[in-house]
Amino acid sequence: MTRKMLTVIVAGTLSVALAAGSAVAQGPGQGRGRGAGGGFCGGRGGGGCMGLTPGAGVGGWWTRVVPTTPAQKAFVAQVTNLHSQIRQANLDLVALRAAKAPAAQIAAKQQQITALRSELQRVTSANQTLLKQMGVPAGVCDGTGPKGRGQGMGRGLRNGTGPNPNCPIR
């Protein structure tokens, strides 16, 4: 075997190995909505975190409806406020965990989040008529609607079990 032939064989083998390794490293991915431009935090061209930046398709139903009556406006404002409180409490919880805060402090923050979610569930359930009037599909937040393929943050996006982007409770 000549030196030139050996160099060609080694270069070819390395090329095939690197190409195969790259393909295997990519794997099946994390599902729709998690890549560049998918709308997830930090995605290039995604428009920010879901629910933080108003715009077409961003956030839950409360960012896409146009309330017309005072009751609808008050309801949407209440849901938006509760959702913002939940988001801020979750960010606070992450900061507490990162700072290795005492377990009691973390538990108290988790209880606050649970209470806010319960309040949001109660408010949403009590105002199903207003939701219908604003065109929000039936079953969006009461658990009876279709699961669909979510665009939220979850491991189950590939098989349709991800968070429902229309529901502020999740």
Compute CA 157 distance to the chain's CA centroid, rounded to the nearest angstrom. Answer: 10
pLDDT averaged over every residue in the chain: 72
Q: Both tokens of residue 33?
A: 């909505």
* pTM summary value: 0.53
Select from 20, 42, 10, 29 the least CA-distant residue to 155: 29
Q: Which residue has the higher pLDDT, 40 or 92?
A: 92
Task: Please write the tens of the pLDDT for every residue from 102-161.
Answer: 999 999 999 999 999 999 999 999 999 999 999 887 666 555 554 444 444 444 444 445
